[in-house]
Amino acid sequence: MVWLSVRVNLPGKFLCLSLKREIELPGKVPLIRKYGDKLGEMEIEEVSSCGEALPLLSLNHVSLLCRSVLDSARFYEEVLGFVLIKRPSSFNFTGAWLYNYGIGIHLIENPSLDEFEPIVEPRPINPKDNHISFQSADVVLVKRRLEEMGMRYVTAVVEEEGIKVDQVFFHDPDGYMVEICNCDKIPVLPLSSSFKPYETTASFRKSAAPAKCGVLFMENEMMESLSMDILNLVF
């Protein structure tokens, strides 16, 4: 019997699990996979530095100043597939809210941007500029669609231990950088904090005190999944 150790990313912490197969949690991506041969091993190691961090859950939206809400909204709709959604009617400035892929794009119109950054010619596309990145399962198709739209883009390839990640970079109407990539190929490996090492607990009990990061619900859900694994093993 081979047991699989899975590191699951939860808001504000990492949990290392040793179990007979990968736990499936919606929206949670296993980060580290390694094998062992300890039959019946069912320990959970909690690695957390969130005691003093803010109780965050996820990225909600990215807010961008734009010269024309109409042009920018069309770009995020037609090129990136976002959908216009209702914004608060109390706002007394021109803007738009869009949503898709679990993230919002909030546009705020500011025509005076040209006074500070006049556009004489298209800016060079520099992958090292500030940018927002979207995951894609088909980067080749992304490039073909961009070519059909007549959009300029540059590509890059990141290689890490035999893994290749394809990246495509292009600008929105205001020169903000957008990246499309298949970056999920590279595992997310947590490192110790530069300011404070991670505190490690060898085991986790379901009756333990609630975590300070607001993830008790997810921990209980994981424990239920572990219980189902045990039942499957027995029967």
Burial 135-171 (b: 16+ CB within 10 A, else e): ebeebeebbeebeeeeeebeeeeeeeeeeebbbbbbb
Q: How many CB atoms lie within 10 A of CB 125?
A: 18
Q: Which of 52, 148, 160, 179 is catalytic?
A: 179
Rounded to 5°, the CA angle 135-22-164 comes to: 35
**Using CA atoms, how far apart are residues 187 and 40, in angstroms rounded to an integer?**
26
160 is an active site residue: no
* CB-based contacts of 57, cutoff 8 Å, min separation 6: 11, 214
3-state secondary structure of 155: strand
> How many Cα atoms are found within 13 Å in the side-chain-facing hemisphere of 171?
13
Nearest CA to 72 out of 100, 97, 37 is that of 97
Sign of CA dihedral 98, 101, 102, 103: negative
- The residues that are catalytic are 179
